[in-house]
Amino acid sequence: MAMNAGVGVGKYRYTTLDILIIAVVSAIGGVFNAYITGAWAKFIEGAIGPFGAALDNPIYIFWIIIVVLLIPKPGVALVTGLLATLVEVIAGSEDGSIVLVFGLLQGVGAELGFALFRYNRSLPAALVAGALTGIGCAIGLTAVFGFFTFDGVVIVPFFVAMALGDGIIGGLLGYAIARGVTQAGFAGGTQAWQRVA
C-alpha cells in the first residue's frame, strides 16, 4: 500500500501515513495516559489540590501537539484528542468515559490554536494551541467535574494556571519532540518549520 494513498477532505488530503501517525501516537498516548499520567495526576492533585492539574494536564495533551506539528491539517487535533482519550478509556482509565469529554474540549482548543496560525509548524502555534487545550480542560474540570464550587476569585486563576501549564509545558514538550522526530527523518522526512523571530 502506498503511503501517499489516503482520503481527501475538501482541499486537504490525509495520506495513509497521516492516518498511521494519528493512530500510533494516539494509541501510545492513550495507554501512557491511562497508566502513567493518571497516576501522576492523582498524586499531584492530591498533594497540592486542583491547581495540580496545571502540572499533569500538559502530559495528557502534548500528544495532540506532536501530531498536529507532524500533520498540520485541519481536524487532526480534534481526531487525535478524541482517539487518544478513547484508547485511554479502553486501556482502563481510572476516570472512566468522562475523559472523552476532555478529549473533545482539548482537541477543539488545540484546533483553534493551530488554526490561528494557519497550521504553521512554529513554536508560537504550539504554545497557543497548548494554552487553549488548558482552557478546554479547565472548562471540563469546572463544568463537568465540578472541581470548584467557589466564585470567580478562584476560577479565574485556575483558568490562567491551566493555560500557562499546558501552553508552556505541553506546547514546548510537543514542539521539541515533533521537531526532533521530523529532523531525524521520521514522519515523512524533513519538512518546513517556521523560524521563531
Q: Which three cell numbers stand for residue 8?
A: 481527501
For the residues 32-52, what does the mean pLDDT come to? Answer: 94
Query: Roughly how many angstroms between the first and final C-alpha of the chain, as a whole number?
Result: 40
84 pLDDT exceeds 90?
yes
Sign of the alpha-carbon torsion through 126, 60, 17, 188: positive
**Residue 129 CB-half CA count within 13 A:** 39
Residue 97 or 193, more confident? 97
pLDDT at position 119 is 95
Residue of 181, 143, 156 lying closest to 65 (CA atoms): 181
Average pLDDT over residues 25-32: 97
- Find the helix or strand (DSSP H, E) in which 9 lies: strand 6-9
Q: Which CATH number among 1.10.287, 1.10.1760, 1.10.1200, 1.10.10 corresponds to the domain 21-183? A: 1.10.1760
* Cβ-based neighbours of 148, under 8 Å, separated by 6 or more: 50, 141, 142, 154, 155, 158
Amino acid letter, residue 156? V
Q: How many CB atoms lie within 10 A of CB 128?
A: 22
Check whether 191 has a pLDDT greater than 60.
Answer: no
> What tens digit of pLDDT does each residue of 44-74 get?
999 998 899 999 999 999 999 999 999 999 9
Tell me the residue type at 184.
A
pLDDT of residue 68: 97
Residue whose C-alpha is closest to residue 119's, from 49, 72, 55, 85:
72
Helix or strand run (H / E) with residue 29: helix 16-32
Domains in the chain: boundaries: 21-183
Q: What is the pLDDT of residue 4?
A: 55
User: Tell me, what DSSP letter sits at residue 95?
Assistant: T
69 versus 195: which is more confidently predicted? 69
Average pLDDT in the chain = 89
Which residues lie across from 12 on neighbouring strands?
Answer: 9
Q: Within the chain, how many helices (H) and strands (E) appear?
A: 8, 2
Cα separation, 54 vs 167, in Å, equals 10
Q: What is the pLDDT of residue 99?
A: 92
**Which tens digits make up the pLDDT trace of 137-190?**
999 988 877 766 656 678 889 999 999 999 999 999 999 999 999 988 876 544
